[in-house]
Amino acid sequence: MLADFRKLFRLSAIYGLGTLSTKLAGFVLIPLYTRSFSVAQFGVLGLLEVSAVVIISFFGFSLYSGFFRWYWDKSAEDKKESLFFTVTVFQIGVVILAYFAMLPFLKGFSQLILDTPDYAYLLRLMLISALMQTVLLMPNTLLRLQEKPWLFTLANLLQLVFSLSVTIYFIVFRHSGIEGIYYGQMAGSLAFAAVLIRYSIRNMVFRFETAMLRDILVYCLPLFFSGVALVFLNVTDRYSLKVLGNMADVGLYSYGYKLANTLNVFLITSVNFAIQPMIYRMMNDPDNKKFYARLLTYYTYGTMLVALAMMVFGMEITKLFARRVEYFDAWYIFPFIIYSIVFGMMKDVVTTGLSISKKTKVIAFTVIVTAVLNLVLNIVLIRLWGNQGAALSKMLSMLVFFALTLYYAQRNYPISYEMKRIAIMLIIAAGLYGISVFFNSWDLIPRLAAKSIVILSYPFVLFLFRFYNPVELSVLHSGWNKWSNPAEFKQNILRLIKK
C-alpha cells in the first residue's frame, strides 16, 4: 500500500505541473483583471465563467465518466481504441449541433444573464471557448487513463504560453476588454489540440461501437443530471447574488472565489487526476477498501495543510493580487469557500463506493437534493449577509452533500473511513484560523510571523490530540531525518519522481 501512495504522490506532482500550466494563466492575470476591470466588470466575467461551466457540463453529457468506467471494463478489453474513437466522434457531433442550436438565442441569453443584449458577441466567444474545452475532455481523459503525465504537462504548458500571450496582447495592446480573455482561451485550446492530435489518432481504431456507446449513454444519463445539478450547485451563488444584489456584489464574490479556488485548481485537481485511474484499477484488489479509507485520511491531511495556510493568509493574498481598494474585502469569504472545497474533495473520494457499484442514480439524487438546498440557503443567507451569506450557503451545502454521499455509499459499498480523525483535522484547523484573525490588526512583519507560527503548529497540535498512529509517527520521524539534511535534498527529490 505504501508503494501505491508513493506512486500517487509522484503522479500527482507531475499532473500538478500540467494543471498548474493550465490554470496559471488565469491566476497570473488576476492583477491585470483587477487593474483593467471595475468590480462590476469582474462580475460580468464571473457570470460568464460560471455560464461556461454550465455549457461544458450540459453538452459534455458526462461522457468522460462513462469512458473512464468502460475503459477498464472487461467488455472493452480489446475495444479501447474503437471506444475512444466512438466517444470522441459522438462528442464532436454534439458540440457542433449545440453551437448552431444556441447561436440564434445569444441576444436573449445576454439580456437574461447580463441585463443587456449588448454582450451577445461576448457570449458567442464564451460559447466557442467552452465547446472547444468540451471536445478536449476526451483526449485529456485518455492521457489520465494511460498515465501519460509528461505528455499531459507538455500539452498544458503550450496551452499556457499561447493563452497567456494572446490574452495579454488583446487586453493590454488592443484594449479588447473581456473579449481578449476568450481569444486567449481559444488560442490555448488550439495549441493543446495541436499537441495531442497525433496521439489521439494513434489511439483510435475507426470503428463505431454503437452497442457500447448505448450502454455508456445509459450509464451517463443519471450522471448527466447529477452533473448539471452539481454545476447548478456551484453557480447558484453568483446568479443569486446578481438577482438579490448587484453586479458589484458578484464581482467582489467572484474575485474572492477565484483566489480561494486555487486550492482546488492547483492541488485537488492535480491529485484527482492521479487518483481516479488508480481507484478504478484497484476495484478487484483484495486490499482496495483499506486503501480507499487511508486515501481519504491522507488526502484530507495534505489538503488541510494548504487550506489552513490560505485561510490564515487570506487577507494578505486578497490585497496582494488586487489593484483597486474595492476588491480588498473579498477575504471575508475565504474560510467558507475553502471549507466548501475541502468538503467537495471528501465527497469525491467517498463517491468511490457508489461508482464501483454503479449506483449512479443515487449520485444523481444526492446532487439534486444538495442543489435545491443550496438555492434555498442562498435566498435566505444572501438577504442576511450578502457575499458572506453566499459563501456560507456554499459551505453548508457541500457539508450536506458530503454527508449524504457518505451515507448512501456506506449502504452500498461499506468502507471503514477514519471519520473521527478527519473531524479532528477539520475542527483544529478552524480553531487555528479563528486564532489567526486576532493578528489582522498587527503591523505586517509581526503579523506574518505570528500567522506563520499558527500554520506550522497545525501538525503538532494534531499530535497533542493523539491524531497519529505508531506507524505514521515512525514514517514522519524517518521523513524528518531524510529531509532535514539539505545535502540529500536533490537525491530525495529524484527518489520521489523515480518510477
Tell me the pTM: 0.80
Q: d(Cα 455, Cα 435) in Å, to the nearest integer?
A: 11
User: Any idea where the domains of the chain sit in the sequence?
Assistant: 2-417, 468-499
Q: d(Cα 152, Cα 37) in Å, to the nearest integer?
A: 33
Phi, psi (deg, nearest 5) at residue 365? -60, -45
Q: Which three cell numbers stand for residue 18?
A: 500540467
- Residue pLDDT, tens place only, 321-353: 998 899 999 999 999 999 999 999 999 999 988
Query: Under DSSP, is residue 142 helix (H, G, I), strand (E, B) or coil?
Result: helix
- Nearest CA-CA partner of 231 in 118, 307, 134, 132: 134
Q: d(Cα 59, Cα 460) in Å, to the nearest integer?
A: 47
Q: d(Cα 301, Cα 436) in Å, to the nearest integer?
A: 20
- Residue pLDDT, tens place only, 145-185: 777 777 877 888 888 889 989 999 999 999 999 999 999 99
pLDDT at 272: 77
Least confident residue range of 142-156, 249-263, 418-432: 142-156
Half-sphere exposure of 248 (CA within 13 A, CB side): 5
Half-sphere exposure of 73 (CA within 13 A, CB side): 18
Q: Confirm if 196 and 137 have CB atoms less than 8 A apart.
A: no
Q: d(Cα 92, Cα 451) in Å, to the nearest integer?
A: 50
Q: Confirm if 113 and 47 have CB atoms less than 8 A apart.
A: yes
Name the pLDDT band for 20 (thresholds 50, 70, 90): low
pLDDT above 90 coverage of the chain, percent:
55
Q: Confirm if 387 and 378 have CB atoms less than 8 A apart.
A: no
